[in-house]
Amino acid sequence: MAGHTHIVGAGLAGLSAAINLLKAGRDVSLYEASGHAGGRCRSYHDATLDHRIDNGNHLVLSGNRAVMGYLKEIGASDSLTGPTAPEFPFYDLESAEQWTVALDAGFLPRAMLSKGGRVPGARRLDYLKAFHLAFAGKEATVAQCLGPDNALYRRFWEPLAVAVLNTDGDEAAASLLWPVIFETMGRGGSACRPLTAKVGLSESFVDPALAVLKDRGAEVSFNNRLRKLTIDSNRVTALTLGQDTVNLGEGDSIILAVPPSAAAELVPGLGAPDDFRAIVNGHFRLAQKTEGFSFLGLIGGVAQWLFVRGDIVSVTVSAADDLVEQPTEVIAGRLWADVAKALNLGVAPMPTWRIVKEKRATFAQTPSQVGRRPPARTALNNLFLAGDWTDTGLPATIEGTLRSGVMASDADLENLN
Ligand SMILES: Cc1cc2nc3c(=O)[nH]c(=O)nc-3n(C[C@H](O)[C@H](O)[C@H](O)COP(=O)(O)OP(=O)(O)OC[C@H]3O[C@@H](n4cnc5c(N)ncnc54)[C@H](O)[C@@H]3O)c2cc1C
C-alpha cells in the first residue's frame, strides 16, 4: 500500500489506530510528546509506595468488544482479571448496609422478579426507568431519566453514571449512558463482568501493543512533540516535530490522537470539548497482601470505588473537581477514613500513601460538551482525529477510545481506496 500514516499521540487511541493500520498493511510512524506511551492509561513505579501503580483504577466490562478485540490483536487477552460472576458489591459508609447488584440473568429480570435481588429500598418500577435512557433527547441528563429521588438511583445508577461518565448525574448526558447499558446489560450477564488489569494498565494495554508495533516495523518516537501542521489548500503537507520537518507525500496521511486542547491548537477552526472533569485516586500500601483482586462500590463518603490488589488498596473519586483542589494530605486523610470503615480496619493508622490528581481526566460529558465532539474525518483530506473526546457515540472510556482509533484509521484506509 503506497504512502504512510503519521500518528500523533501514543495514548490508547493512537495505539489502537496504529494496530488497525498495520493489520491492513499500511506503513505507520507514531510520535509521542512525553517519554512514555499510554497517556492517561498507564502504570509506573511510585517511589513513595515503592510499588508499581496505575495512574488511576480502570475497570472495563467483559462486553466491551473493542477492548476484547484490541487485546486479542496485541496478544494480551489473558491479561485481565475480575470476579467470575457479573456482580457489583456496594457498601453504604453511613448506614453500614451492604448489597450486591447481580447481573447474571441480565439486569432487569432477576432484579425485578425477586425482592432479594433488588437494591435495598428500590421498587420494581424503578428498574423500568432504565428504558427512559433509550428515548432520552440530546439535552436530557441521567438524573432526569433515572432519578433523582429513588433508592435505585442513589444506590446504583448514580455511582455507575459518575464512574462511566466522570460527570455528576444531574449534568451528565443520558445519551452517552444508553449505549453502554445496551451493549453490556442488554446482552446479559456474560457481557457485564467487571475486569481490570491483572498486573497493570501498561502490561495489558500498552507494552504488548508497542511490541507488536516494533515487530511489524512501525517507527515509534518519544519526546517528539508535534508543534505545527503545514496546510496547503485542503491537505496537510508537512509536520513540524521538535526541530524537524516531515514533508508529506501524495499518499501520506495523519491521525491526530492527542487531547482536545492540543488538537484545537494544531488544527485551525476545530471545534472540540473545552470543559473537563477531574479524577482523584488514592493508593495505600497495606502491611499484608491479599490474593487476587476485589472491588467495592462506596456510597455516602468521599471515596466512590475501592480496589484491592495484593498489598495496595486504591480508591477512586470521579467528577472530583472540588476534591482535586484540596491539599494531598487532606485528601489522603479523608479517603483513608473511608477505606478503614469499608474494610473494617478500626482506627488503623494511615499507611504509606500516594494521591494522584488527574485534573483533566476526561472532558465533561454534559449534553453541551457532547455536542462539541468532532467526527474522525476533518475538512482536510488527509487529516483524521482520534481520542476519547471525538464523536464515537460512547463515553470517554477505554472502549470509546479504542473504537475512536479504529474509526479514524478505517476512514484513512477508505480514503486511500
Ligand atoms: C484517572 C482515570 C481513571 C479512568 N478510569 C477509567 C475506567 O475505569 N474505565 C475506562 O474505560 N476508562 C477510564 N478512564 C478513561 C481512559 O483512560 C481514557 O479515555 C483514555 O486513556 C484516553 O486515551 P486517548 O488516547 O484518547 O488520550 P490520551 O491518553 O490523553 O493520549 C494522548 C497522547 O497524546 C500525547 N500528546 C499530546 N500532545 C501531543 C503533541 N503535540 N505531539 C505528540 N503527542 C502529543 C499525550 O502525551 C498522550 O500520550 C480513566 C481516565 C483517568 C485519567
Alpha-carbon distance of 222 to 36, in angstroms, equals: 7
**Phi and psi torsions of 13, nearest 5°:** -65, -45
> pLDDT higher for 105 or 376?
376
pLDDT digits (tens, 9 = 90+) for 288-344: 877 777 899 999 999 999 999 889 999 999 999 999 999 999 999 999 999 999 998
pLDDT digits (tens, 9 = 90+) for 42-59: 999 999 999 999 999 999
What spacing in Å lies between the alpha carbon of 359 and ligand 1's midpoint? 12
- Partners of 303 in beta bridges: none
What spacing in Å lies between the alpha carbon of 103 and ligand 1's midpoint? 29
Peptide bond into 109 cis (omega under 30): no
Q: Which residues contact 280 (CB under 8 A, 6 or more apart)?
A: 316, 317, 320, 323, 324, 331, 355, 356, 357, 358
pLDDT digits (tens, 9 = 90+) for 198-246: 999 999 999 999 999 999 999 999 999 999 999 998 999 999 998 899 9
**Furthest CA-CA distance within the chain:** 67
Which pLDDT belongs to residue 113? 61
For residue 163, the ligand 1 atom closest to its alpha carbon is 8
CB atoms within 10 A of CB 369: 22
Q: How many CA atoms lie within 13 A of 337 on its CB side?
A: 10
For ligand 1, say whether the CB of 387 is within 6 Å of any of its atoms. Answer: yes
- Partners of 363 in beta bridges: 276
For ligand 1, say whether the CB of 355 is within 6 Å of any of its atoms. Answer: no
Q: Are 228 and 240 in contact (CB under 8 A)?
A: yes
Which pLDDT belongs to residue 293? 74
Q: Which residues contact 184 (CB under 8 A, 6 or more apart)?
A: 61, 63, 64, 191, 192
For ligand 1, say whether the CB of 8 is within 6 Å of any of its atoms. Answer: yes
Lowest mean pLDDT among 171-175, 185-189, 218-222, 303-307: 185-189
pLDDT digits (tens, 9 = 90+) for 108-166: 556 556 667 788 888 888 888 888 998 999 999 999 999 888 999 999 999 999 999 99
What spacing in Å lies between the alpha carbon of 335 and ligand 1's midpoint? 24
- The stretches of 24-141 forming alpha helices (DSSP H) are 65-73, 107-113, 124-128
Which pLDDT belongs to residue 39? 98
CB atoms within 10 A of CB 72: 10
- Inform me whether the pLDDT recorded for 92 exceeds 90: yes
Under DSSP, the state recorded for 348 is: P
Which pLDDT belongs to residue 126? 85
- Inform me whether the pLDDT recorded for 105 exceeds 70: no
Q: ipTM > 0.95?
A: yes
C-alpha closest to that of 399 among 58, 5, 131: 58
Residue type, position 145, single letter:
C
For ligand 1, say whether the CB of 58 is within 6 Å of any of its atoms. Answer: yes
Which pLDDT belongs to residue 1? 66
C-alpha closest to that of 134 among 143, 122, 145, 147: 145
In angstroms, the Cα distances linking 187 to 82, 108, 118, 156, 263 are: 19, 11, 19, 19, 36
In angstroms, the Cα distances linking 215 to 19, 67, 203, 218, 225 are: 11, 21, 17, 8, 24
